[in-house]
Structure 1
């Protein structure tokens, strides 16, 4: 309640106090009072007395914030996946609290939202009830008879990491995630009237039929009444009450709005116990009208609409606080999912904070809610108890559409039917990874598996884990091929990427550095603090509900685009589009990097979900620009997707390079080993034994560009080196034996040196192109015109935008450190690149389209374990490529991940050609 400060006479103060007291008594009589004993989240905690029995800072009493995981507060032992260090660690908690005397006669319940693992609770030295077992579930004790109202009450809690139940240790403490100890979610009192509503379970169907189980100790002389309101507080229809002899409150509503992830419409129902005109107890429960159902050999339907899950698996974890989170973290994660155009999330591998589900209800995400059990199941007695705790807490969330009974073999089949005991909606129950109950949720299929499943479709198909995102592999890489093939399945219901974020933990014993447990934790689309990897933007484009073929614009900028509505409930007339024609700064120019030439907005065409049509942009005739940007926005103004297309060809830009105004003729000096060409104040040195450029001197600095052009991935033997004057040009032409590479350097006064090259390939190759050497230790950064700012792979080209980009050198290894975007790697659609360095910056242009630029070679992740996520590169060089390598996943090599992931094919008799211009001025 709000704190009120009154300034008035003593008599007025007394009178106001009496009025307030009467009001409070009426309110307390009607509503459940929540009294927090702990804080509410990681950012709002309360100190309790604490002692850890083993590990760091053990054996002595101090204090600890509650809620928290004690490892993140400097106590005990860190463990990932296995309790190898001090598995029998215990945390002893003490806290003194008071209960206001006005609550005498009320029912007092203590609630633990979750505690890891076995939890014993005492009030004033007396047991509150049986030890609770199971780490991720809400549990309660009625402590009415134990509470004292005239003095402090002593709460004592003993939390044991290791359970006395072996099945809990197998299901929870040998799982693929960080294992913590402690009271990691809030603790509070529920103070209710003696006659009260314990809970409700709602089934509000898309048809408007409303059914609600009400669990109460009301007598037959009392009535249970309900009234539904919209979120603005407006009553919806009339009140209704429980009929004598019925076990459910029933009503039929008309003109209600349905809940779905695109329009998450919610309502409140106020439920009251009434004795005549007197209200004994009232609760308010939020819900949504919606029907979720699996139709066998068909698909998954919500409100009668077949839906496709575009989802991700999410652990509940934050680097500094472990499993103790906050509203801001939940919102950050949900915002990232929605921004990637996801509509679903799987709770892996335990139920989340209830606030997370509240936000999924209000922001709009389908949820798969999961009982813990990672490759091992609870025994039936424990499973039966924990299923009940899971379902009765989460049953009223419209976002929850499926129950997961364990994961990857962690299924206790004896309790599959238990979910329906507590869920009047009878949501579908699945076994993630198994063909079960009309579904195939296969984990980590390769591309051939997908093809076979499409050809022999039986069950409703939606992998609950796929595209494993270890390091930079998976997720966006090969997703285009997979998704295209999966959508051919007649019973397709989507899939869930593994996983949302790298599960990294800040460790005090590692000088506060982040531990991702080798190759077990770094498998997210975002980093531990939600740093975005390149796959984030690939997913955003591929899963955009507004689909535009990115190939449907040319450098002449078509004004009409083929467009498809891939929403399930939203007409495209609700989408706003913005277009921009822009010019970019060139390397020889100064000023702003982007200049908007013209722009405009328009509403989308009226296209129902699943329909295709045309989007007509009012572009000016004969538009001339470096790029066209087209962005789609939701009705709320959130960005759905941005598409970009180059307007000026690389050749146009190269032809516009300003003339060098110095007019010195080319002079040459050579001996048996080297050739030096000098003109326009620069000297170019060639090694006559290799034919390679050796270095450049611009009159002030020596520039260490050397070792090229070399044919990437091929050994070359020089057979002849020719240099000669031809008119007003000087030509350098090395020739190689047994090799298809043809090289011609042309030097002409007043022009930039031009390198022309061509080559044939005889076999399939990971990459195709030419390379040069430049010392990595001298590189400071790069600025380029092309797609960026993230690097790409052959099977992950979607996502980066065309523009002028700049980034400083870093040696980021994706998933082992998190300074994104990564500096090293392949960069697509390069027009020009300026290499920023300690010697003298220089720029290289191409006049070819679709050239990839190689900036050095990303280092192999130290904990990778295999080369699946370490694609082939032509060494630690800079290169100009016609084709680049693909990347695999933790479990699969690239070659089993579909067409885009194959090696690059041979060319036949037509050579690949290119031309580069070098500006060392």
Structure 2
């Protein structure tokens, strides 16, 4: 500490003073004093507003507030108004001038005090004060004595308190600064939050540290175990299952026939370290060996494929402070959705999360608390990564990462950090890690151009064509031939891809097909796991709650809703993107061949056969079950494929459906479910499914068209009434109708609004696609129907869409059914330079909600490049339930390739049939209202049910941070003809 400036540590590049060396996180039976709970708290405006004597034991803090520890102080008061400052979100930019290592003097500073009792007999001579996480810099006093200071917000910091701790009352004082020199190293894409946000405790240090080294030799089935222990007295090791009892931990012990640890079989052996003083430290040992073999990532001798997600720690009310129940919920949801890997973006997580990964089976890329992305806008000028003055800070963060988490078998890769440019300090950190732990690989994406000091060739957000080139080893060469040779020998991983912002990502199937085609490609991690929305309320009763994002707290600089880019909504409800990802990455592939009446099962697991699964079949005729049962499939080895013939009951169900002659499509679905309970899901949980149409629908009944007849002010076509001048449909049977008219606009999704090549939504608006005018050119009734000619174009433009609506209709006296058919022919004219958002017809009905039933893919939303998870069936829902509540409202809720649908309002029913299919969206508000809304509570029902019947949609892609839709999913302005039929009873 600088005696002239007691607060100099705030801007000092040093990672801290007075701290103990980092060590492993572990539990012990020695006594602990937990300090979580209510602390006295005062928020100072900055360094000129500090309480001079707040650290003295007898300082009167009764007038101070109470604040929970752990917590982030800016989250206090939510979902109402934040009580202490406010959250702020930036993706790249620092929220203060970039002038390292200086930070603003007006630096919000939390002053914390906690009085606690030390019981008689507590072994204070070995006491350590432990902070699991404090953001950003902090200094600590115990009983008025300054212990030291620290930085590294998401890293553990310990102080020796043997000399200061005393029996009875003790007073702990902590000063936490929102900004510090460490903030320059913590520019991760997330909310800026401050405080003591992880647990605090006083622990007794007996066994100081240990490093479990448990390797597995796949060629012999032997495990090798050695435990390096640092302790003041002799320590023994016992692992009863392995026959090791009260032995020397150093070993090494060679054990025959151990079960290795993997994501699919997370086998842990219970062990214990026992010191001569009587301390007991439980161990959970997993044997596994990580290696690169011929450019392929292997564990235990088997190639692995990462089906992963990037995971920030987040809760919509508590920020980065999570309970163990919340962490467990994350792990279980991941496993239940076929995810097998996590990158802890971009810092080490709460240590308990890694315990859960060990227990339930997730590969972990454990990442350092490092990102300096805010230097990129300035051309990486003054970037700490290559500045010798920051070397100590980089090495400190690497050491604290490795030392804390080194005993987790789930951790197979150390990641230096994220988006910090390149430089000697990163190379030095990699070198330190490699010398300390040679059992794991080292990752860092920022040096992908050379990969000089890493063990994986890592990329983010590249397109599938470039990914395929990498898989073939045909990527562009590096500048240095030696680096090039090194990089081409490395496995490749997508550390970020499939940006899950809003409605998307699209194209995940395309990525997965490329990954599975090339052994060099080790898979990747979707960005990211959860939307970082903050729960807010607009009234005291929380009746109009919503999720806030950047800019909602008055930030001077912010990046809007870019913080809401997860596979989970903020309340941890799976988004359609997560449901899609689960299907795309199924570890078992089920294919049905109707022509040869065979079913194939391909096992993509790396160690587990399919014996843990039950296979079931269901046959549906028009969405109604006509048979179901168990399917006998022999256990299929990893990497193998098994084919089985349709059993007799499946063939009989199909024959019965054909005899029934319902006229509907018949579909066979085969699913694979857990045969028994797993730690992460119960028996019956579905892992994979396959589906095929085994009988087509019969052709629709033709009808004899009726003439369009002029009446008093309208045209009649059977049960339909049209406006005589505009040709607009006004009424069908007893149902009042507005529209349908050609529509090409959609409320832009986040992938339309953002994009490195220029946001597509901006191009759409510049072209005027959001303000197209519908001009009627002709209304021509005739003996077989009605033809309406129109043109759709924006003001000021020389391009447009010619459209011809051809209406035909009939009445069926025997059934009382009225039928009305619309064929829409669209012809572009003029210079179209942008794709269409959508192409279809829009209409509305009176009502605020309705029952919706449809036959086609479901049950959730689907789009042309995000439809793998939608299976054909008969589904029922309501208009309200069919809306997907993206944090920023946007196009959503589309049901793809619907064959037929029934819309039932309070007193009317409308039947819709595609010819042969139509995309269906049903909403309680208009596209214009959806486009204008910033948050979900902005959407107000307008008394109409809005229907979109689309021929096609532009693909979703991943352009918010990555490539847009592939060429087949781009909706070009080309001639198109599509038809739909309406029916209603009279």
TM category (shorter chain) comes to 0.7 to 0.9
Does 2:190 align with 1:189? no
Alignment RMSD, CA only?
3.6
Deviation at 1:900, TM superposition (A): 4.1
The corresponding residue for 1:782 is 852
Displacement of 1:239: 4.3
1:718 is displaced (CA, Å) by: 5.3
1: CA distance, partners of 2:285 / 2:932: 46
- Please give the alpha-carbon distance, in whole angstroms, between the structure 1 residues aligned to 2:105 and 2:639: 56
SS at match of 2:897: coil
Match of 1:265 in 2: 267
Matches within 5 A, 1:513-528: 513-517=546-550, 518-528=560-570
Instruction: Say which of 528, 535, 540 aligns to 1:506.
Output: 535
1:1-53: per-residue Cα shift (whole Å, max 9, x none)? xxxxxxxxxxxxxxxxxxxxxxxxxxxxx9642424333xxxxxx11211111
2:868 corresponding residue in structure 1 = 798
**What does residue 434 of structure 1 align with?**
448
Q: Cα–Cα, structure 1 residues 581 and 140, in superposed 2: closer, same or farther, change >3 Å? A: same
Q: 1:509 to 1:912 in 2, by over 3 A?
A: closer
Give the aligned partner of residue 185 of structure 2.
171
Alpha-carbon distance in 2 for matches of 1:616, 1:309: 32
8 A Cα contact 1:205 1:289, kept in partner: yes
Aligned to 2:955: 886
Task: State the distance in 2 between where 1:509 and 1:843 align.
Answer: 39
Shift in CA distance, 616/410, structure 1 to aligned 2, threshold 3 Å: farther
- The question of whether the paired residues in 1 share the 8 Å contact of 2:512 and 2:585 is answered with no
Per the alignment, residue 815 of structure 1 pairs with 886
Which of 37, 40, 47 is the matching residue for 2:38?
47
> Aligned partners of 2:265, 2:179: CA distance in 1, in Å?
44
Report the CA distance between 1:773 and its aligned residue: 1.9
Aligned partner (choices 556, 572, 579) of residue 530 of structure 1: 572
- How far, CA to CA, are the matches of 1:602 and 1:473 in structure 2? 34
Note the 1:305-384 alignment, pairs <5 A. Answer: 305-376=302-373, 379-384=390-395
CA contact (8 A) 1:313 1:346 kept: yes
- Match of 2:785, SS? strand
CA contact (8 A) 1:264 1:361 kept: yes
**Hey, what's the Cα distance between the residues in 2 that align with 1:122 and 1:737?**
78
Quote how far apart the aligned CAs of 1:795 are.
Answer: 0.9
Q: Does 1:826 align with 2:894?
A: yes
1:239-258 matched pairs, under 5 angstroms? 239-241=246-248, 248-258=250-260
How much does 1:285 deviate?
1.9
Counterpart Cα distance in 2 of 1:305 and 1:368: 18
Partner of 1:641: 688
The change in CA–CA distance for 1:631 and 1:490 in structure 2 (over 3 A counts) is closer
Q: Does 1:67 align with 2:70?
A: yes
- Between the aligned partners of 1:813 and 1:595, the Cα distance in structure 2 is 27
Q: What is the alpha-carbon distance in structure 1 between the residues aligned to residue 514 and residue 839 of structure 2?
A: 31
1:291 positional shift: 0.7
SS at 1:629's partner residue? strand
Question: Is 1:722 the counterpart of 2:729 in the alignment?
Answer: no
| CA distance in structure 2 between the partners assigned to 1:794 and 1:595 by the alignment | 26
Matched position secondary structure for 1:293: strand
- The question of 1:470 aligning with 2:487 is answered no
Give the aligned partner of residue 293 of structure 1: 291
Report the more deviating stretch, 834-843 or 824-833.
Answer: 834-843
CA contact (8 A) 2:237 2:244 kept: no
Cα 1:182–1:34 change in 2 (3 A) is farther
Q: Secondary structure at the match of 2:518?
A: coil
**Number of residue pairs aligned between Structure 1 and Structure 2:** 804
The corresponding residue for 2:300 is: 303
Secondary structure of 2:163's partner?
A: helix
TM-score norm. by structure 1 comes to 0.79
Measured in 2, the distance between the counterparts of 1:890 and 1:410 equals 23
Is the partner of 2:149 in helix, strand or coil?
coil
Match of 1:140 in 2: 158
Q: TM-score, normalised by structure 2?
A: 0.75
| Cα separation, partners in 2 of 1:180 and 1:740, compared to 1, 3 Å | closer
Residue 914 (structure 1) shift? 4.0
Deviation at 1:761, TM superposition (A): 6.1
Could you tell me how far apart the structure 1 residues matched to 2:978 and 2:562 are? 43
User: Could you say which residue in structure 2 is the equivalent of 1:395?
Assistant: 406
Matched residue, 1:919: 984
Alpha-carbon distance between aligned partners in 2 of 1:141 and 1:100, rounded to the nearest angstrom? 20
Deviation at 1:324, TM superposition (A): 0.6
Q: Which residue of 1 aligns with 2:823?
A: 757
Q: 1:687 deviation in Å? A: 3.2
Listed as ranges, the matches of 1:429-828 within 5 Å are 429-431=443-445, 434-435=448-449, 436=451, 437-455=454-472, 456=474, 458=488, 459-474=490-505, 477-507=506-536, 513-517=546-550, 518-549=560-591, 552=592, 559-582=597-620, 596-618=625-647, 619-621=650-652, 622-624=655-657, 627-635=667-675, 636=677, 637=683, 638-645=685-692, 651=698, 670-671=710-711, 674-677=714-717, 683-698=719-734, 702-708=735-741, 721-724=780-783, 731-734=784-787, 736=789, 741=804, 743-750=806-813, 751-755=817-821, 757=823, 759=825, 766=836, 770-774=840-844, 780=850, 782-802=852-872, 803-809=874-880, 815-816=886-887, 824-828=892-896
User: How far 1:367 moved relative to its partner?
Assistant: 0.5
Aligned-residue offset at 1:404:
0.8
Per-residue CA distance 1:118-140 (angstroms, 9 max, x = gap): 12222111123x20111001111
Secondary structure at 1:419's aligned position in 2? helix
Q: Is the 8 A contact 2:790 2:804 kept in 1?
A: no
Checking the alignment, whether the CA contact within 8 Å between 2:315 and 2:570 is kept in structure 1 is: yes
Change (3 A) 1:579 1:86: farther
After superposition, residues 156-235 of structure 1 pair within 5 angstroms as 156-163=173-180, 166=181, 168-172=182-186, 174-192=187-205, 196-207=206-217, 208-218=223-233, 223-229=234-240, 234=241
Greater Cα shift, 773-782 or 835-844: 773-782
Aligned to 1:727: none
Q: Distance in 2 between matches of 1:473 and 1:153?
A: 53
**Alpha-carbon distance between aligned partners in 2 of 1:139 and 1:780, rounded to the nearest angstrom:** 57
Q: 2:126 aligns with which of 107, 131, 142?
A: 107
Residues 603, 638 of structure 2: 8 Å contact kept: yes
Shift of 1:499: 0.5
Deviations 1:180-222 (A, max 9, x none): 1111111112224xxx32111111001211122111223xxxx
Question: Whole-Å Cα distance in 1 between the matches of residues 566 and 738 of structure 2?
Answer: 37
Gaps of 5+ in 1: 1-29, 40-45, 243-247, 585-593, 660-664, 725-730, 865-875
Give, in angstroms, the shift of residue 776 of structure 1. Answer: 7.9
User: Secondary structure at 2:243's aligned position in 1?
Assistant: strand
**Once structures 1 and 2 are overlaid, which stretch shifts more, 204-213 or 741-750?**
741-750
**Alignment match, 2:89:** 80
* Matched-pair contact (CA < 8 Å) for 2:213–2:226: yes
Change (3 A) 1:428 1:335: same
Partner of 1:853: 920
Q: SS at 1:49's partner residue?
A: strand
Q: Is the 8 A contact 1:319 1:503 kept in 2?
A: yes
Q: State whether structure 2 residue 152 is matched by structure 1 residue 127.
A: no
Secondary structure (helix, strand or coil) at the match of 2:332 reads: helix
1:450-490 residue CA offsets vs partner (Å, 9 max, x unmatched): 2443450524211101111221132xx11111222233334
Structure-to-structure mapping, 1:838-877, within 5 angstroms: 840-846=908-914, 848-855=915-922, 859-860=930-931
Cα separation, 2, equivalents of 1:508 and 1:642: 41
8 Å CA contact retained: 2:114, 2:173:
yes
Q: Distance in 2 between matches of 1:903 and 1:651?
A: 30
Contact 1:649–1:849 under 8 Å retained in 2 = no
Alignment partners' CA distance in 2, 1:491 and 1:861: 46
